[in-house]
C-alpha cells in the first residue's frame, strides 16, 4: 500500500505517562491535551453542563414545607440536625437512609464499571469535569496545545505574565464559585449569600469556601491527571471490577498494526501496513498523557477523546471508524482470531450484571418501603439510674424516667402518653401534682423533640420481681384510626428487700 | 571529598559508603517532602517566637502573643459568665415563684442547680441526691423542715444546727435513755407504739403501754398522732421513711441516745442566684411541694 493521505500531519507528541518513561523520582511532565471534536467530546460537554448545573442550581430550588420547616428543596441542616430532600425529611435517627443510598451508589458504580467501564471517571467525576472546565479556560487564554507548549518554553515576558495571570484569575473565580456553591447546601441559600457578601456569615462558611477554593484551584489547575493516578483508589479497584465483557477504550491493533506513518509508507512501498498511520493525534488529545495504543492502562479514565480524535483521522483517510473504540476484551480477542462480526453489540446480559442490578434494586425497594412505612413519631425513654428508685412516705416506690417524644411532622401535635403492663401504677410529671393512670396529654412542637420528666409510682408489694418490664405508649390524639403510635419498653425497679431494712 | 560515584544500574549517585562491595544509593527525597520539611521549620520558628516555648529556670519564654493556657481558661470562663449574666441577674432579682413561672429561666436554674449540687451537696446527699443513713433523700416526698421552694431555700441558706448562723434551723431530741428520762423497758414500749403508728409488726400490749408514754414525752414535738412537726424538724413517725432506719433496734437506739445531723449554712458562701438554682433543682427532683 502506498497511498499517501493528505491533511493528516504527524504530531510529535510524547505519551509522557508511558510506563517505561516514568521514573519514580522524575518530576512530572506537564500534559498539554489538544482540542478534539466528535461524538464523545459532545457527550462530555453535555454531561459537564448538566452536572455543573445540578451542582450550582440545586441549593437555590425552593420547596414549600409549611410554617415550621425551611423552604429549601435540598438542605443539610447541621445546626438542627435535619436533612431535607424535596418531600423527604430525614432525622439523625434515620441516617440509615443515607447509608442505604451510599451503598446503592457503590453497587451502582460496580454495575456501571463492570458494563461500560470507567464511565464515572471519564464523564462525571468532579475531578474530570472541573479539569475539563479549567482546560477550556486555559485553551481560551493561552491557545491550543502547540501555543501552550511554546508559551511554557518561552522566557518570562510581559506577554507571558499577562496570559498566565489572566488564566489564574479566571481559574480562581471558578474555584471560588465552586467552594461558594458548596456552603449553600448547608444553610438557607439566599440568606447565606447575602450574609456572605456583606461579611456577616459564620467563619466556618468562609473557611469552607477557602479550603474548597484551594483544592479546586490546585486539583483542576495543576495536579489534574496526578489526582487520578496517585491519589484516587478507584483506578486500582477497577481491575477487580472490569472483566472480559466490560467496555474499555481499546486500540484495535489487529486492524491498526503494523502502524506506518506517511513517510514509512512512502519509503517502504512493499510493506503491508495496518490502518494506523501513526499520526499521534490520540496521544496529543489524551488528558492523562498516555498512548492508548500501548493497551489498557491504569491511567486511562476512558474519556474517549482518543476515539473522537482517531475517528476524525479515519474519516479523512477514508477508512472505517473505530480503530480506537469502546470494546470488550472478549470482542477484541474474537476479532483478533477473526471469529466475530465486528459490529456486534457487547453483551451486557450476564450473571454479574443481573446480580448487581438485583442487589441495587432490592436495596432501593427496601429503602422505598421503609420510607413509606416509617413513623413520624418516636418515643425514647431513659430510666433514672441515680437513684434507681425512691421510697415514698406512703410506702409506694417511684421511678423516674426522661421521656423524649419526637414529633417528626412539620406541624405541632398533641400526644397521649400512657403506660401499659404495670397494673396499679400511676404516672405524674415533675412539678405537677396531677396523677394519672390513663395517660397524660403532651404537646410537642412541629418537628421538635420534647424532653419530659415522668415519674411512675406503685405499691412494691404488687411486684413479683425486682425489675419489671412495662411500656410507654404515645398516640397522636388527633390522628383518628390510623394515628401515629410509638411504643418503648422501660423497666420499673423496686428495692431488693421489702420494708424498712436498708 | 572523593569524586562522586554514580551507580551504573540506576544512574543514581551513591553516598560513598561501601560494605563488602555494596554501595548505598543516595536517593533524593521527593521535592514536595523537602518543601514541607522547610515549611515546618519556618512554622516552628514562628511558633517559638509567638507562643510560650523555651523552658527556662523560672518558667518559660512567654511568647510575643502573650498566650497562656491559664489565660485561655480564664477567658473562656469569663465568656461563659458573661453569656449567663442576663439569666443570673434575673435569678437574683426575681422571687422563686416568679422564676418558676418563666419556663426557660426555670430550666436554666435547674440545670445550674444540678451542677452546683454535684460540687457542694453531693458529699453528704449523694450525687443523685439519694441520701444515706442520717442524710435525707431529697428525691422523696418526706421533708423534715418543709418541701416548698421557700422552705428549701431557708434550709440551704441558713443550714441545720449550724451554730455559726444565728438563723439556723435548730432542734434537739432529748436523750431519753442516756439521761435516764425513761427506763429501757419504757423505751421498748414507746418503740412498739411507734412501730404500730407506721404499720409495722409490733407487740400490741407494749404498744398500748407505750401510747401513754408517747403522749407524755414525745407528742410535744412529734404531735399527738405522731405526724411530726416541720417547725421543729420533728420527723413524721407514721410514714415509711426513716432517716436512721425504722427497725425496732434502730428506733430504740435513736430514742436512747439520738443522733442529730448538721448541715452547713450556704448563705455567705454561695451567691443568691446559686442558692436559688440549688433550691429549684432540689424542688424538681420529684418530691417538691
Task: Give yes or no for residue B194 having a pLDDT over 70.
Answer: yes
- The string of pLDDT tens digits covering residues A32-60 is 999 999 999 999 999 999 999 999 999 99
A392, A426, A495, best to mutate vs chain B, most B CBs in 10 Å: A392
Going by pLDDT thresholds of 50, 70 and 90, the confidence category of residue A399 is: very high
pLDDT of the residue at A501: 43
Task: Give yes or no for residue A165 having a pLDDT over 90.
Answer: yes
What average pLDDT does this structure show over A457-477? 92
Nearest to A393 among B28, B141, B285 (CB): B141
Nearest to A390 among B28, B127, B140 (CB): B140
pLDDT of the residue at A133: 95
Residues of A in contact with B200 (CB under 8 A): 499-500
pLDDT of the residue at A22: 64
Residues of A in contact with B141 (CB under 8 A): 392-393
Residue A453 near chain B (CB below 8 Å): yes
Domain made up of B86-168+265-283: CATH architecture: Orthogonal Bundle (1.10)
Domains in chain B: boundaries: 14-59, 86-168+265-283, 184-256
Task: Give yes or no for residue A346 having a pLDDT over 90.
Answer: no
B117, B141, B142, B238, best to mutate vs chain A, most A CBs in 10 Å: B141
The values of phi and psi at residue B44, to 5°, are -65, -40
What average pLDDT does this structure show over B249-274? 94
pTM passes above 0.90: no
| CA-based nearest residue in chain B for residue A395 | B240
- The string of pLDDT tens digits covering residues B154-186 is 999 999 999 999 999 999 999 999 999 999 999
Residues of B in contact with A385 (CB under 8 A): 128
Could you give the CA distance from residue B96 to residue B101 in angstroms, rounded to a whole number? 9
pLDDT of the residue at A500: 45
> With pLDDT > 70 as the criterion, what percentage of chain B qualifies?
99
- The string of pLDDT tens digits covering residues A204-225 is 999 999 999 999 999 999 999 9
pLDDT of the residue at B260: 93
Task: Give yes or no for residue A25 having a pLDDT over 80.
Answer: no
What average pLDDT does this structure show over A257-266? 84
Nearest to A398 among B130, B245, B286 (CB): B286
pLDDT of the residue at A6: 62
Could you give the CA distance from residue A28 to residue A230 in angstroms, rounded to a whole number? 12
Under DSSP, is residue A297 helix (H, G, I), strand (E, B) or coil? Answer: coil
pLDDT of the residue at B249: 93
- Chains A, B: CB contacts within 8 A come to 71
pLDDT of the residue at A429: 87
Q: Under an 8 A CB cutoff, do A430 and B31 touch?
A: no
How many Cα atoms occupy the beta-carbon half-sphere of B236 within 13 Å? 16
What average pLDDT does this structure show over A116-142? 93
Going by pLDDT thresholds of 50, 70 and 90, the confidence category of residue A2 is: very low
Domain pair B86-168+265-283 / B184-256, same fold: yes
Task: Give yes or no for residue A323 having a pLDDT over 60.
Answer: yes
Residue with cell 435525707: B136
pLDDT of the residue at B1: 47
Residue A3: which residues within 8 A CB-CB, separation 6 or more?
A265, A317
Going by pLDDT thresholds of 50, 70 and 90, the confidence category of residue B16 is: confident
What average pLDDT does this structure show over A64-68? 86
Going by pLDDT thresholds of 50, 70 and 90, the confidence category of residue B210 is: very high
> Hey, which residues does B55 pair with through a beta bridge?
B60
Nearest to A393 among B126, B140, B288 (CB): B140
Fold of B184-256: Cytochrome Bc1 Complex; Chain D, domain 2 (1.10.760)
Distance of CA A329 to the CA centre of its chain: 29
What average pLDDT does this structure show over B113-119? 96
Fold of A377-493: Immunoglobulin-like (2.60.40)
Residues of A in contact with B34 (CB under 8 A): none
Residue A270 near chain B (CB below 8 Å): no
> With pLDDT > 70 as the criterion, what percentage of chain A qualifies?
95
Domains in chain A: boundaries: 19-239, 248-351, 377-493
What average pLDDT does this structure show over A433-458? 88
Q: Which of B263, B288, B280 is nearest to B158 (CA)?
A: B263
pLDDT of the residue at A344: 58
Going by pLDDT thresholds of 50, 70 and 90, the confidence category of residue A502 is: very low
Amino acid at each position: 500500500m502506498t497511498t499517501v493521505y493528505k491533511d493528516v500531519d504527524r504530531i510529535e507528541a510524547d505519551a509522557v505517562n508511558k510506563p517505561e518513561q516514568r521514573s519514580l523520582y522524575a518530576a512530572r511532565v506537564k500534559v498539554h491535551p489538544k482540542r478534539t471534536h466528535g461524538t464523545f467530546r459532545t457527550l462530555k460537554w453535555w454531561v459537564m453542563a448538566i452536572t455543573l448545573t445540578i451542582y450550582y442550581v440545586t441549593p437555590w430550588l425552593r420547596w414549600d414545607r409549611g410554617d415550621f420547616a425551611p423552604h429549601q428543596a435540598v438542605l443539610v441542616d447541621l445546626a438542627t440536625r435535619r436533612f431535607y430532600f424535596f418531600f423527604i425529611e430525614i432525622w439523625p435517627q434515620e441516617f440509615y437512609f443515607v447509608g442505604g443510598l451510599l451503598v446503592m451508589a457503590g453497587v451502582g458504580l460496580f454495575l456501571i464499571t463492570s458494563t461500560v467501564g470507567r464511565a464515572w471517571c471519564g464523564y462525571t467525576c468532579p475531578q474530570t469535569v472541573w479539569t475539563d472546565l479549567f482546560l477550556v479556560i486555559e485553551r481560551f487564554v493561552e491557545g491550543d496545545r502547540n501555543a501552550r507548549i511554546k508559551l511554557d518554553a518561552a522566557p518570562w515576558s510581559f506577554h507571558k505574565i499577562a496570559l498566565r495571570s489572566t488564566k489564574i484569575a479566571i481559574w480562581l473565580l471558578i474555584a471560588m464559585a465552586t467552594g461558594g456553591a458548596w456552603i449553600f447546601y448547608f444553610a438557607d441559600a439566599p440568606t447565606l449569600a447575602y450574609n456572605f457578601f456583606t461579611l456577616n456569615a459564620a467563619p466556618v462558611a468562609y473557611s469552607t469556601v477557602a479550603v474548597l477554593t484551594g483544592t479546586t484551584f490546585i486539583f483542576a489547575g495543576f495536579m489534574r491527571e496526578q489526582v487520578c493516578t496517585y491519589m484516587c483508589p478507584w483506578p486500582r479497584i477497577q481491575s477487580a471490577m472490569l472483566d472480559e465483557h466490560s467496555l474499555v477504550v481499546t486500540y484495535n491493533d489487529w486492524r491498526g498494526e503494523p502502524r506506518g506513518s506517511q513517510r514509512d509508507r512512502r519509503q517502504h512501498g512493499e510493506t503491508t501496513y495496518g490502518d494506523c498511520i501513526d499520526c499521534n493525534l490520540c496521544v496529543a488529545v489524551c488528558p492523562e498523557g498516555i498512548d492508548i495504543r500501548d493497551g489498557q492502562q491504569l491511567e486511562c479514565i476512558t474519556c474517549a477523546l482518543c476515539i473522537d480524535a482517531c475517528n476524525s483521522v479515519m474519516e479523512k483517510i477514508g477508512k472505517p471508524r473505530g480503530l480506537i473504540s469502546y470494546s470488550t476484551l472478549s470482542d477484541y480477542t474474537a476479532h483478533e482470531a477473526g471469529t466475530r462480526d465486528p459490529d456486534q453489540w457487547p453483551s451486557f446480559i450476564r450473571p454479574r450484571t443481573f446480580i448487581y442490578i438485583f442487589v441495587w434494586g432490592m436495596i432501593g425497594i427496601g429503602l422505598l418501603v421503609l420510607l413509606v412505612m416509617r413513623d413520624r413519631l418516636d418515643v425514647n425513654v431513659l430510666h433514672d439510674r441515680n437513684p434507681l428508685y425512691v421510697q415514698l412516705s406512703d410506702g409506694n416506690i417511684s421511678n423516674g424516667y426522661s421521656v423524649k417524644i419526637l414529633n417528626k411532622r412539620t406541624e405541632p401535635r398533641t400526644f397521649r402518653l400512657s403506660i401499659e403492663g404495670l397494673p396499679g401504677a400511676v404516672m405524674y410529671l415533675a412539678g405537677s401534682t396531677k396523677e394519672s393512670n390513663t395517660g397524660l396529654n403532651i404537646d410537642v412542637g412541629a418537628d421538635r423533640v420534647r424532653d419530659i420528666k415522668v415519674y411512675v409510682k406503685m405499691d412494691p408489694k404488687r411486684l413479683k420481681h425486682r425489675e419489671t418490664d412495662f411500656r410507654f405508649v404515645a398516640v397522636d390524639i388527633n390522628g383518628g384510626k390510623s394515628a401515629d403510635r410509638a411504643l418503648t419498653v422501660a423497666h420499673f425497679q423496686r428495692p431488693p428487700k421489702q420494708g424498712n431494712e436498708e | 571529598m572523593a569524586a562522586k560515584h554514580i551507580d551504573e544500574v540506576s544512574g543514581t549517585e551513591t553516598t560513598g559508603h561501601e560494605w563488602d562491595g555494596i554501595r548505598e544509593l543516595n536517593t533524593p527525597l521527593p521535592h514536595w517532602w523537602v518543601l514541607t520539611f522547610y515549611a515546618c521549620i519556618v512554622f516552628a520558628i514562628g511558633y517559638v517566637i509567638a507562643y510560650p516555648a523555651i523552658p527556662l529556670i523560672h518558667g518559660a519564654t512567654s511568647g510575643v502573643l502573650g498566650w497562656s493556657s491559664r489565660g485561655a481558661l480564664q477567658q473562656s470562663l469569663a465568656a461563659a459568665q458573661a453569656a449567663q449574666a442576663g439569666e443570673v441577674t434575673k435569678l437574683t432579682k426575681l422571687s422563686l415563684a416568679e422564676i418558676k413561672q418563666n419556663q426557660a429561666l426555670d430550666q436554666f436554674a435547674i440545670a445550674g442547680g444540678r451542677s452546683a449540687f454535684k460540687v457542694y451537696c453531693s458529699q453528704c446527699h449523694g450525687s443523685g441526691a439519694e441520701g444515706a443513713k442520717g442524710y435525707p433523700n431529697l428525691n422523696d416526698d418526706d421533708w423534715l423542715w418543709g418541701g416548698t421552694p421557700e422552705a428549701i431555700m431557708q434550709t440551704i441558706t441558713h443550714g441545720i444546727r449550724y451554730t455559726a448562723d444565728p438563723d439556723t434551723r435548730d432542734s434537739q431530741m432529748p436523750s431519753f435513755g442516756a439521761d435516764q428520762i425513761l427506763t429501757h423497758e419504757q423505751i421498748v414500749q414507746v418503740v412498739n407504739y411507734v412501730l404500730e403508728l407506721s404499720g409495722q409488726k409490733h407487740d400490741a400490749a407494749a404498744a398500748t403501754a407505750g401510747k401513754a408514754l408517747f403522749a407524755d414525752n414525745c407528742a410535744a414535738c412529734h404531735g399527738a398522732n405522731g405526724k411530726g412537726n416541720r417547725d421543729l424538724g420533728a420527723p413524721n413517725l407514721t410514714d415509711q421513711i426513716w432517716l436512721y432506719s425504722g427497725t425496732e433496734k434502730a428506733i430504740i437506739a435513736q430514742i436512747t441516745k439520738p443522733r442529730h445531723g448538721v448541715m452547713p449554712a450556704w448563705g455567705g458562701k454561695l451567691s443568691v442566684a446559686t442558692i436559688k438554682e440549688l433550691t429549684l433543682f432540689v424542688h424538681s427532683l420529684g418530691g417538691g411541694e
